[in-house]
Chain A
Amino acid sequence: MARDIDTTLLSSARPAPVADRGPGRWLRANLFSSWTNSLITLAILWLAILIVPELYRWAIANAVFQPDFMSCRAVGREGACWGMIAEKFRLIFFGRYPYLEQWRPLVATLLMMSMLWISCYPRFWRKWLAPAWALVLLAFILILRGGVFGLEYVESNLWGGFPLTLLLTVVGIFLALPLAVLIALGRRSKLKAIRSFCIFYVEIVRGVPLITVLFTASFLFPLFLPPEYNIDVLLRVQIGIILFTAAYLAETIRGGLQAIPGGQYEAAAALGLGYWQTVRKITLPQALRIVVAPLVNTFISTFMDTSLVTVVSLYDLTGALRLALGDPNWKAFFMEGYLFVAAIYLVCCYGMSRYSQWVERRLGAASRR
């Protein structure tokens, strides 16, 4: 019987041996579990001893933090010149936008970032989100462009830096999404002509590099239109990005549509819903919910891909950095500039990819109930 057990024996049980608990155990299990493991650990530690102090000396101890060209040159290769970033920060971040008006892209960027923040919460995934986005995008473009509310007019070829990267990405995704839904539906359509065209479009666009699409936008779009239409290069590139992204998004959404069980279509048909009613009320909402995480991943690649627009001479974040490094005084400190811009991209993309993992777990948990 349970009450007959001598509890003093239990309480006096000896603790686990010292080697089997606490940090010692962790070290043995994770770093020195076998000969090869110990060798790997020692090799990595040796490399760290070689590299980390050097890195510390370069990046912090010997570094110059003031935008002082003379002391930067005096330090030379021995220390980082973070002063380069302090000096060129506005140019890197806002590109060639008129200096005195740079509060406008800042306001617009903050507006867009807060809207992105709000859209991250599944509780705000409501009908009003799309019109709200349309409003925010309109406001973003108006604030940058000016010419209304007493704001000075700024030509689109002066837009640049981080706001341009953000604009190209967000507008690219926002307008590519409806197009992608249509293409994905078309690829699953029973109508042969429409299906063939959608397959053709998706395969062609996914088969060529983005750079050719940008070249097309920059060199060929003007040829395709009557000479009296003169669209500026930003709009052409934006259209190129939308058409390119739509092909990739369409494949993602098609994946979601395929994952919906056939019973859903049959049930919708049994209820007497037509094609568009079925799509709008039954299949699309479920499909989009399934592909939120892949959609965020497409968003990340589009965000990184927009760096290519420097090839057709737009000054996004990457292009603005190259602009800043064009200054012969600061050219030698390219490493600091590249590390800075790389860090901006890294923070944004890493954050988004963590979000994508979170949302996948959360929605997965919801559907597993």
Chain B
Amino acid sequence: MRPDKNKPKRRFSWSTEEGRALIYQVVAVAILALVAWFMLSNTARNLATMQIRSGFGFLSQPAGFDIGEGLVAYASSDSYLRAFLVGVSNTVRVALAGIVLATVLGTLVGIGRLSRNFLLRKLCDGFVETLRNIPLLIQLLGWYLVITELLPTAHEAIQLLPHTYLSKSGLQLPMPVWSPGWLLALIGLPVGIVCARLIRKSAQRKRDRTGDAPRIAVPMAAVIVGMPILGWLAGGAPTAFDLPEATVFSISGGMALTPEFLALLAGLTLYTASSIAEIVRAGILAVSSGQLEASSALGLSRRQTLRLVVLPQAMRVIVPPLTSQYLNLTKNSSLAVTVGYPDIVSVANTSLNQNGQALECISLIMLVYLTISLLIAAFMNWYNHRMALVER
């Protein structure tokens, strides 16, 4: 017999808690549905009177506008869909570069704030307090003007390194000419990382068995660096580089980073680094001093203490807010529209000004960002699950 048959039949009246709960929810849903219906019917009516088409059919039509840069080949006769893809690729490109740079810089500054050196400490404090209290938009616009107004023109570009030029028209870098050797080198990297992990596993097993911890730092590094080099050699050791050359009027060749990209990257990196520095600092401070005393009582050196005791515990505190900073950086990259970098928001903005289909274009932007948010949230859940304290 099913257990709920024994229960008295539920009476949905005002006098029972369940009844009230049901009534409240029905009323709430009804109000929401009414508001949604009101907005949708107005939208339909307004679109009809303004004679704007609706639906996503426009995506397959030619976009008809140019996009300054992108990883995906694009011409103005290509479709809107392709234009949006270029925008997404640009968002991802600047966000990834920003995440890497901001993490490195933020970690260094965060550790610098805990330094024993008074000057370094104060310098890092000043960096954090200044950058995170000035709106990102001001910083971005400022960087953009600094690059496009204060830097010299292309024909008197600053040479940072051999064949690396910085000027009003951006940063020109040497770029290896694509050949199978480079592909093999790229494949070598994950292979090297897997090998390094295997080395660590076996070392751990040996330690568990004998209590003797083999030194593995050098072999691990050798494998990670060596495998790509091996791949590169196997591919015939290509050495051809596409070098930027300064000609009379401009610089040609190599990989060019536009001033828009540079300004956006600089702004996002510095602004996010100031937040990451705070997170790193708080994470390290969260490791209780008893842990440090215990590890020195066990005879661990300063470096061992940092690597084996402080970092693993600090990471548990650092990673959740760090992922939300990555998410913030990605969302903030939408400010690209103010410096003219063609990210997804700029492309959608141009499209909606052109064809008037605001509803569709804005939904597409939201869809892109929500997807990225979901991916990052999924990663964070996975990490938290892996890193959760295992209690006895």
A interface residues (Cβ-Cβ under 8 A, vs B):
29-31, 33, 37, 40-41, 44-45, 77, 190-194, 197, 204, 206-212, 215-216, 219-220, 222-227, 300, 304-305, 307-308, 310-311, 318, 322, 332, 334-335, 338, 341-342, 345-346, 349-350, 353
Contacts and interface: CB of A to CB of B under 8 A. Distances in A.
Contact of B138 (A31, A194, A318): A318
Contact of A207 (B25, B136, B150, B373): B373
B302 to A, nearest CB: 11
Contacts of B145: 334-335, 338
A23 B219 CA distance: 47
Nearest to B367: A208
Contacts of A226: 42, 45
A33 B134 contact: no
Contacts of A350: 129, 133
B135 A345 contact: yes
Nearest to B338: A311
Contacts of A224: 39, 42-43
Contacts of A308: 137, 335
B331 interface: yes
A233 to B, nearest CB: 14
B119 A193 contact: no
A40 B119 contact: yes
Interface stretch (B183-191, B242-250, B357-365): B357-365
B141 interface: yes
A209 B117 contact: no
Contacts of B39: 224-225
Interface residues of B, number: 53
A341 B352 CA distance: 32
A212 B345 contact: yes
Contacts of A191: 21, 24-25, 28
Interface in B102-140: 115-120, 123, 129-130, 133-139
Contact of B119 (A31, A211, A341): A31
Contact of B349 (A29, A209, A215): A215
Interface string B25-43: 1001100100000010011
**SS class of chain A's interface: helix, strand, loop or mixed?**
helix
Contacts, number: 144
Given A44-B123, A345-B134, 16 more contacts: A30-B117, A31-B117, A194-B24, A197-B32, A206-B373, A208-B365, A211-B335, A212-B365, A219-B352, A227-B45, A227-B49, A322-B141, A332-B149, A335-B150, A338-B142, A341-B138
A154 to B, nearest CB: 26
Q: Which 5 residue pairs across A and B have the least CB separation, nearest first?
A: A30-B118, A349-B133, A207-B373, A219-B358, A193-B25
A263 to B, nearest CB: 22
A216 B139 CA distance: 25
B138 A342 contact: yes
A307 B142 CA distance: 14
Given A44-B119, A204-B370, A225-B42, A209 B334 contact: yes
A226 B373 CA distance: 33
B332 to A, nearest CB: 7
Contact of A223 (B47, B139, B337, B345): B47
A291 B123 CA distance: 31
Given A190-B21, A191-B24, A44 B369 contact: no
B46 interface: yes
Contact of B149 (A29, A207, A310, A334): A334
Contacts of B24: 191, 194
Q: Which of B130, B139, B335, B374 is packed against the most chain A CB atoms within 10 Å?
A: B335
B331 A208 contact: yes
Contacts of B337: 211, 311
Contacts of A29: 116
B308 interface: no
23 contacts: A30-B118, A31-B119, A33-B116, A41-B117, A191-B28, A206-B373, A209-B345, A210-B331, A211-B334, A215-B362, A227-B46, A318-B138, A332-B149, A334-B145, A335-B145, A341-B138, A342-B138, A342-B142, A345-B134, A346-B130, A346-B133, A346-B134, A350-B133
Contacts of A40: 115, 117, 119-120
Nearest to A34: B116
A57 B369 CA distance: 46
A318 B137 CA distance: 8
Nearest to A300: B133
Query: Which of B45, B138, B142 has the most chain A CB within a 10 Å cutoff?
Result: B138
A318 to B, nearest CB: 6
Nearest to B371: A207
Interface in B16-71: 21, 24-25, 28-29, 32, 39, 42-43, 45-47, 49
B130 to A, nearest CB: 7
Contacts of B194: none
Contacts of B139: 342
B334 A212 contact: yes
A226 B42 CA distance: 6
Which of A209, A210, A345 has most B Cβ within 10 Å? A209
A208 B24 CA distance: 30
A348 B43 CA distance: 41
B366 interface: yes
